């Protein structure tokens, strides 16, 4: 515990003094200055303690802490995972239900809005923006909150039953982007891994959440056997071949935004709950 605290203090002190290394700091920093830093960062150390202490649920004893695991997921360094590590259920749950998920999503959407402001739009009705649906436009958090926040293996039966309720709430940040695109004449295009037979409930769910006016909604056709990347990039290619310009593409999975043609710019929303390759 003491060692962990010292390490945190050194890291924070390093951040405060820029390029000066922790060891230089330790040697050269006058005692009074060090005490001042100690006092200034004390609340921060307190906040970090649960992450590092062996008693904290968020910490790990010999493994990778959950915040590092999530960063690895979002950066697409951690791939092809089937379930959230069991010990991270609390961390992921707090992330999703607290402000953090919303804040992270807001950063993504703010970037997308700033990007839109730089666009020289053709105004010919051919500019489109590709949206994923699940965990992008609609949130399945009510389902996952009842089912271990991704720590349990995917259950198609129970998940599809949830989808068929048509009650998924809209993700407010993505809705902000959607409205902005409509206002500047960029047409939203939904491209989802949901199956064609879920079209009616998906449309009803979107409408109930104040989402309408899209150009088209493409669902996965029965019998399609390829990967998510193959499916989505193939559909984007069709759009491009038909003369559309994909000015933007947003999804919560890397498979939403990988595979040419990706779109002029891609945006990745957070999703530490499941992985679709
Ligand atoms: C999947 O969900 C269904 C419906 O809730 C349930 O009956 C079934 O036992 C679940 N399967 C597994 C493997 O948990
Ligand atoms: Mg999705």
**For the segment 186-218, what is each residue's pLDDT rounded down to a tens digit?**
999 999 999 999 999 999 999 999 999 999 999
CA of 153 to the centre of ligand 1 (A): 10
Domain count for the chain: 2
Q: Ligand 1 atom 2: the closest Cα is on which residue?
A: 158
pLDDT of residue 261 exceeding 70, the answer is: yes
Where among 34, 56, 78 does a domain terminate? 56
Q: Whose CA is nearest to atom 13 of ligand 1?
A: 155
Considering the domain boundaries, does residue 71 fall inside one?
no
Give 160 or 46, the one with higher predicted confidence. 160
Q: Is 87 helix (H, G, I), strand (E, B) or coil?
A: helix
* 225 within a domain of the structure (yes/no): yes
On whether residue 197 sits in a domain, the answer given is yes
- CATH assignment at residue 138: 3.40.50.1000
- The boundaries of the domain holding residue 15 are 2-56
Average pLDDT over residues 230-235: 98
Sheet holding 245-251, edge to edge: 216-220, 187-195, 127-131, 245-251, 266-268
What distance in angstroms lies between residue 141's CA and the mean position of ligand 1's atoms? 18
CA 149/CA 177 separation, integer angstroms: 26
Shared-domain flag, residues 11 and 99: no
Q: Is residue 154 part of a domain?
A: yes
Same-domain check for residues 44 and 132: no
Return the higher-pLDDT residue of 3 and 197: 197
Q: How far is the CA of 243 from the centre of ligand 2 (A)?
A: 25
Q: Could you report the per-residue pLDDT of 141-155, keeping only the tens digit for each?
A: 999 999 999 999 999
Contact 185, 114 (CB under 8 A): no
15, 40, 56 — which closes off a domain?
A: 56
| 164 and 248 both lie in a single domain | yes
Ligand number nearest CA of 147 is: 1
For residue 116, tell me if it sits in a domain. Answer: yes
Asked if residue 277 is part of any domain, the answer here is no
CB contact at 8 A, 84 and 77 = no
Q: Looking at the domain assignment, is residue 257 inside a domain?
A: yes
Specify whether 52 is located in the same domain as 92.
no
Report how far ligand 1's centroid is from the alpha carbon of 225 (Å).
24
128 and 20 in a common domain: no
Judgement on whether residues 113 and 168 belong to the same structural domain of the protein: yes
pLDDT > 90? residue 46? no
What are the Cα distances from residue 95, in Å, to 19, 37, 48, 120, 264? Answer: 32, 29, 15, 37, 30
| Ligand 1 pocket residues where CB is under 6 Å | 155, 157-158
Q: Within this chain, do residues 155 and 49 fall inside the same structural domain, yes or no?
A: no
Provide the pLDDT confidence category of residue 61 given band limits of 50, 70 and 90: very low
Q: What is the pLDDT, as a whole number, of residue 45?
A: 43
State what percent of residues in the chain have pLDDT above 70.
Answer: 78
Answer whether residue 68 shows pLDDT above 80: yes
Ramachandran category for residue 179: left, alpha or beta (phi over 0 → left; psi -120 to 50 → alpha): alpha
pLDDT of residue 123: 87
Q: Are residues 47 and 96 in the same domain?
A: no
Tokens representing 126 are 């051919």
CA 232-107-210 angle, 5° bins: 65
């Amino acid at each position: 515990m003491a060692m962990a605290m010292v390490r945190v203090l050194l890291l924070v002190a390093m951040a405060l003094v820029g390029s000066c290394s922790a060891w230089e700091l330790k040697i050269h920093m006058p005692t009074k200055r060090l005490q001042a830093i100690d006092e200034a960062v004390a609340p921060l150390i307190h906040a970090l303690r649960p992450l590092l202490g062996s008693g904290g649920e968020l910490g790990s004893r010999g493994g990778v802490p959950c915040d590092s695991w999530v960063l690895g997921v979002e950066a697409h360094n951690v791939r092809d995972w089937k379930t959230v590590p069991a010990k991270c259920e609390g961390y992921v749950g707090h992330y999703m239900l607290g402000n953090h998920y919303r804040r992270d999503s807001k950063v993504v959407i703010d970037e997308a809005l700033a990007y839109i402001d730089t666009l020289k739009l053709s105004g010919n009705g051919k500019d489109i923006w590709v949206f994923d649906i699940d965990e992008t436009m609609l949130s399945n958090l009510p389902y996952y909150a009842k089912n271990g926040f991704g720590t349990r293996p995917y259950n198609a039966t129970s998940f599809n039953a949830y989808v068929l309720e048509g009650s998924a709430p809209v993700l407010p940040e993505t809705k902000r982007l959607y409205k902005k695109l409509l206002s500047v004449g960029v047409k939203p295009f939904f491209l989802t891994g949901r199956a064609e037979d879920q079209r009616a409930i998906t449309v009803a769910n979107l409408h109930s959440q104040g989402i309408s006016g899209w150009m088209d909604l493409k669902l996965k056709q029965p019998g399609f056997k390829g990967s998510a990347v193959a499916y989505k990039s193939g559909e984007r290619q069709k759009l491009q071949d038909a003369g559309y310009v994909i000015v933007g593409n947003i999804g919560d999975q890397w498979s939403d935004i990988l595979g040419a043609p990706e779109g002029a710019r891609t945006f990745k929303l957070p999703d530490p709950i499941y992985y679709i390759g």
